[in-house]
Amino acid sequence: MKYIKTLEYIILIKIIVLILLVFPHNFKSQNMSIFGNVIDTLNNTAKKNAVVMLVRLSDSTMIDFKRTDDNGGFYFNTPVDTVEIIISHYKNDDKIIFFFPSKDRLSLNLNNTILPEKSEMMNEVTIYAFKDPVFFRGDTLVFLADSFKTKENAVVEDLLKKLPGIEVDKNGSITSQGREVNKVLVDGDEFFGSDPTIATKNLGAKSIESVEIYEEENTDSDETADETIQVMDLRLKEDAKKGYFGRASGGTDFNNFYEGELLFNKFNRDFKLSVFSLASNTPRANFGYGDIKKYGLSTDNGDFFSDNNRGSWYGGSDGFSNNGIPETVKSGIFFSDKLNDKVKIGFNYTYNESSLKTNSNRNLQYLLRDTTFYVEEDNNTDQTNEDHLINAKINIKLDSSTSLEILPSYSLSKTINNNNFQNSFITESLDTNSKSTVNQKHNSESYNFSTEIRLKKDFRKKGRTLKYAIKFNDSENDENQFNLTNNEYNQNNVIKDTLDQNQNFISNTKKYQSQFLFKEPINKKWGLDIEHLFKINIANQNRSTTNKDLTNNEYSILDSLFSNNFENFKLTNRAGLYFVYRHKKDRLKIGGYVRNVQLKSFDEMKNPLTAPLDFWDILPQLNFRHKFNNSQRLRFSYRTNSRQPSLNQLQPVQNNSNPNTIIEGNPDLIPDYSHKLSLGYNHWKGLSGSYIWSSIDHRIVSNPFSNEVSFDNYGRKISKTINIESSTNQFSSFNLGGKYH
């Protein structure tokens, strides 16, 4: 038999304890008691003046110590924490006991404790522990998956519906304690493109070890974006990280509907390979159409300037905005591997093909000051989409404190859309004032290419960090539309008007961006953040509208009213300075931005269309958070922002893609300026799963954008963006919920 020396045995026990720290406890608001007495069995007497020490396991800090009294007794009453109890006497070896308190076990009785003799082998160590199904690890909320029973062959979505405080709606959108989950990861990486439901609807519940939910900073360059977003990370079991697992399913009613899907995964530590394929014409397969906006996703490979960045891969197209049930074929492959200690690579490809036929009818009533009229609409569409998305990622560790990421991305989308639209304008006396029939054939093809290089440097001084990123983006959209419109206007007499046009629209945008962030700790409580953002956007619009020449039956007559070719230049310089205060339960971030935005528009001959616009803004910001505990928080924020008009809002010609709703640009627009006050409170109880999530927002805007609508003599709607003097709006929400299992 192999004997282990006392010191080696203690080291082994400490390793076991560190493993058990995966299951910490959070009962800071209560006290625990530890008591007992120490005896000497050889002399049948009490051990007087033995030293009893309590050491906090999380940071090895000694909480308290006492000497045993004449009867060998000792007693502690201290806030709840996981502790190491060391009982020492100069005539004996130490006795070490580990105590992990729980809600139903807040006291430890150590009566008649016997210390080992000098150099005596330790044959047994007792560890008191309790495994919570739900607990906090720092600021991360952890659910242990095996603590929640699910049916055989259940998927992750079935598991999530069992977790207290987690809600999953019919579209697969997830909320935790009343707040939306913005990002879903698997083992710290995004599983497939932009669609979180591919992981939640296909991965088996039995392969999940834990579900972790945490917040990370949101570094969207839009100053109005929330300070933090909520992330869900599905952590796989060890046996699911090595080997094979997958899922296959299918079904049909042998009449109208069918669905089938396959998910295959191969894992071996750092090597991951996943293949996914789906074909369906049921809502079950409508994965995340519209979810890009819901989840805050894009093709920019994640938020680099987040302190808790774990790497994210986004992408995909926003197919049909959840109208109808499309026929869908969707496939993808995900691959990542660690080539050596310094280089990790990843690759993600997704293919999506969808088609949709819809029919809609609407009856509208417009109430104006001097009259009332009605509109009847009948719309039929037949649309097909085809998308290809490729993302890649290369992580290079230059040295122990410096990392480099290279993130190329490419997407290609094609759309064919045939639209037949009829509408009638009916007067208050129910006479038909006008009637239009529109037949449109619309084809478009677009691509987007982007490359981003990110550098991160951590310095010797704790908390001092430098992040720098440069990004280039090139996108183009090429659209062609045949528009045949028959209009009948009934005024004093019947006027018929036929519009037969071919519209070609080509837009190209190039974006250059540089972003810098430096964090400097001033002392233990205060820190300084210095930011700078530099962006150049160069956009070109070429809209050519030609009418049909009946003599040769070709589209050769240029309609200058609906044609243009101009270039827009936008330069943004934004510098930010923030003071950050962190102490115990409070976090304060106060500072702001100074921003300069320059806008210029030129025609095809490089002549300015409008006078150059040069805007300076001072944008103060304040964010405060108080944590009563890990499950109860109060937030307050004050933000300012100024929005510049978009290229489409400024463009100086009309857009008659829909002949009955003409959009007119307004080159005289000026930026708005907004003040937003937000107050939020949330409280969650882990045992019952009940939660409260409440917020109230108050927003005041100067020179806000509004939509001015007018009607011409033929009853056509003319829409134009304008500035109004001011607007005020207030929004409040209160979510209350809970689960009991």
pLDDT tier for residue 286 given thresholds of 50, 70 and 90 = very low
pLDDT at 494 over 70: no
pLDDT tier for residue 127 given thresholds of 50, 70 and 90 = low
pLDDT tier for residue 315 given thresholds of 50, 70 and 90 = very low
pLDDT at 515 over 90: yes
Instruction: Tell me which of 23-37, 328-342, 420-434, 480-494 is least confident.
Output: 23-37
Instruction: Tell me which of 54-58, 219-223, 345-349 is least confident.
Output: 219-223
pLDDT at 3 over 60: no
Per-residue pLDDT tens over the stretch 157-213: 889 988 888 888 877 788 887 778 888 888 877 766 556 777 787 788 888 999 999
pLDDT at 704 over 60: yes
Average pLDDT over residues 82-93: 87
Instruction: Tell me which of 309-318, 364-373, 721-730 is least confident.
Output: 309-318
pLDDT for res 316: 32
- Single-letter code of the amino acid located at 723: N
pLDDT at 610 over 80: no
**Domain topology for 6-128:** Immunoglobulin-like (2.60.40)
pLDDT for res 285: 44
Is 261 in a helix, a strand, or coil?
strand
- Highest-pLDDT range among 27-36, 455-464, 700-709: 455-464
Q: Which residue has the higher pLDDT, 62 or 193?
A: 62
pLDDT at 261 over 90: no
pLDDT for res 474: 96
The two three-digit tokens of residue 490, written as one number: 């009934």
Matching residue, tokens 């979505």: 157
Burial of 288 (0-12, 13-18, 19+ CB in 10 A): buried
What string of H, E and C letters represents the secondary structure of 382-418? EEEEEEEEEEEEEEEEEECCEEEEEEEEEEEEEEEEE
pLDDT at 12 over 90: no
Question: How far are the Cα atoms of 56, 527, 588, 592, 636 from residue 583, in angstroms, in the given order?
Answer: 20, 11, 9, 21, 17
pLDDT at 119 over 90: no
- Single-letter code of the amino acid located at 649: Q
Q: Phi/psi zone of residue 532: left (φ > 0), alpha (ψ -120 to 50 degrees), beta?
A: beta
pLDDT tier for residue 308 given thresholds of 50, 70 and 90 = very low
- Report, in this order, helix, strand and coil percent for the chain, each rounded to 5: 5, 60, 30
Cα–Cα distance measured from residue 483 to residue 559, given in angstroms and rounded to the nearest whole number: 13
Q: Phi/psi zone of residue 54: left (φ > 0), alpha (ψ -120 to 50 degrees), beta?
A: beta
Reported as type and span, the H/E element at residue 429 is none
Query: In the Cβ-directed half-sphere of 144, how many Cα atoms lie within 13 Å?
Result: 12
pLDDT at 25 over 50: no
- Single-letter code of the amino acid located at 197: T
Q: Percent of the chain beyond pLDDT 90?
A: 27
pLDDT for res 168: 84
pLDDT for res 186: 83
Instruction: Tell me which of 219-228, 259-268, 578-587 is least confident.
Output: 219-228
pLDDT at 232 over 50: yes
Cα–Cα distance measured from residue 491 to residue 432, given in angstroms and rounded to the nearest whole number: 10
pLDDT at 288 over 60: no
The two three-digit tokens of residue 627, written as one number: 């944590």
Comparing CA positions, the residue from 90, 122, 100 lying closest to residue 27 is 100
Cα–Cα distance measured from residue 521 to residue 460, given in angstroms and rounded to the nearest whole number: 12
- Number of helices and strands in the chain (H, E): 5, 40
8 Å CB contact between 391 and 313? yes
Cα–Cα distance measured from residue 566 to residue 393, given in angstroms and rounded to the nearest whole number: 36
pLDDT for res 8: 52
Q: Which CATH number fits domain 228-737: 2.40.170, 2.30.30, 3.40.50, 1.25.40?
A: 2.40.170
Per-residue pLDDT tens over the stretch 382-400: 999 999 999 999 999 999 9
Cα–Cα distance measured from residue 229 to residue 669, given in angstroms and rounded to the nearest whole number: 33
pLDDT tier for residue 659 given thresholds of 50, 70 and 90 = low
pLDDT for res 13: 55
pLDDT for res 588: 95
pLDDT at 741 over 50: no
pLDDT for res 619: 93
8 Å CB contact between 702 and 617? no
Per-residue pLDDT tens over the stretch 144-158: 998 888 888 888 988
Instruction: Tell me which of 355-359, 475-479, 661-665, 699-703 is least confident.
Output: 661-665
pLDDT tier for residue 291 given thresholds of 50, 70 and 90 = very low
pLDDT for res 311: 32
For the chain, the structural domain boundaries read 6-128, 228-737
- Highest-pLDDT range among 74-88, 230-244, 290-304: 74-88
pLDDT tier for residue 10 given thresholds of 50, 70 and 90 = low
Instruction: Tell me which of 12-21, 58-67, 239-248, 606-615 is least confident.
Output: 12-21
What is the layout of strands, in order, in the sheet containing 166-168? 166-168, 174-176, 179-180
Q: Which residue has the higher pLDDT, 310 or 405?
A: 405
Q: In angstroms, what is the C-alpha Rg of the chain?
A: 33
pLDDT for res 29: 57
pLDDT at 298 over 80: no
Reported as type and span, the H/E element at residue 19 is helix 6-20
Q: Phi/psi zone of residue 537: left (φ > 0), alpha (ψ -120 to 50 degrees), beta?
A: beta
CA dihedral 606, 611, 612, 613 (to 10 degrees): -150
